[in-house]
Structure 1
Amino acid sequence: MPCNHEIAEEINMLIRFSQTSTLQGIKVHANADSEVIAATSRLFDKGLISQQDGGYLTPLGHEAADQAHCLLNILTPPKPAA
């Protein structure tokens, strides 16, 4: 299955959560970009976050966010040595 725009927005939302702390959540305000609001809502519907407007990652959400970070690390070209 190719990565469509909605999936890309959900991945972008997942990587906004802290990898180092389970105590940091995210609040998506009503005046946020409509695509961010929609992606956040879909993540809630999929059981990856605790609130319709953000909240905290669920255990499955932590796993998905970790995988998203790993994939981005693999796909991001290394910075040239100075």
Structure 2
Amino acid sequence: MLKQELVDELNILLHYNLTTTLEGIKIHKSADASVIEAVERMFDKGLVTRHDGGYLTDLGRAAAEHAQACYTILTSG
């Protein structure tokens, strides 16, 4: 079973636009604590460039590609 912390990180990866490397995300201070903590963990793991989101690193892009592909497979009709 997946821990909620991992699910939170996967949800963030699903928000990245993979059609461009010029677009990142910004997690605002008013976001849920679980989202803020997830992005900070992702920064510590080297997946994003800033503790509040930013751009995907090369490792983060690979993770996002896999996460988004898995999501597409599991949600397709």
TM beyond 0.5 = yes
2:40 paired residue number: 41
1:52 paired residue number: 51
Deviation at 1:36, TM superposition (A): 0.5
2:75 paired residue number: 76
Higher Cα Rg, which structure: 1
Q: CA RMSD for the aligned pairs?
A: 0.8
Which consecutive unaligned segments of at least 5 residues does structure 2 have? none
SS at match of 1:17: coil
Deviations 1:29-68 (Å, cap 9, x if unpaired)? 1111111101000000000000000000000000000000
CA distance in 2, matches of 1:14, 1:70: 11
TM-score (norm 1): 0.90
Among all aligned residue pairs of Structure 1 and Structure 2, give the percentage whose two residues are the same amino acid. Answer: 47
How many residue pairs match? The answer is 77
Which consecutive unaligned segments of at least 5 residues does structure 1 have? none
Deviations 1:12-44 (Å, cap 9, x if unpaired)? 001111010100011111111111101000000
Segments of 4+ moved more than 3 angstroms: none
Structure with more of its chain in helix, by fraction = 2
TM-score (norm 2): 0.96
